[in-house]
Amino acid sequence: MIPEKIATKPNLTKRILAGLIDYTLLIGVTIVMFIYFGEKVQNNYELHDFPALANALIWFGYLIGFEVKFGGTLGNLVFDLQVVSIKDNNSTSLTLGQSFIRHLFDFFDLWFFGLLAILLIKNTKYNQRLGDLCAQTIVIDTKDDQQFYKRFI
């Protein structure tokens, strides 16, 4: 096992604001999709076929694609937050699987205005939400020299 050193902070304000940016963008795109491509069924609008698939691909591409390519979503990048892998490998870069797992748990993390995520971030050793715990990732502020993840070979 390679020795490692991890130092994180909750960064709650930045993480909440980053999440607001990300989900405002995604919900906005979804609303536009419903307006232009939705079918009215009784008193509701529904997306079917390609528009539904396109909407899912947009969510996937934005949340997961941005994290894998840039280390965070637009919201994270605006606030200098980076998602880092602490999995047992030689890289701190996030894998597609790790990002997918992180966002698979978004529903639970965002439940009741993010209460579960906030409680976990404040009470876990490395300030991780449920998605981070399951994916073996941490979120660090890249502008704060006191937050880091280093492996010593």
CB 83 within 8 A of CB 72: yes
What's the chain's average pLDDT? 92
Return the pLDDT at 43.
85
Distance CA 24, CA 35 (A): 16
| Helix/strand/coil for 145 | coil
Pairing of the two strands 81-85 and 137-141: antiparallel
Distance CA 10, CA 131 (A): 15
Give tens-digit pLDDT for 15-48: 999 999 999 999 999 999 999 999 988 888 899 9
The domain ranges of the chain are 4-151
Distance CA 11, CA 8 (A): 9
Return the pLDDT at 3.
57
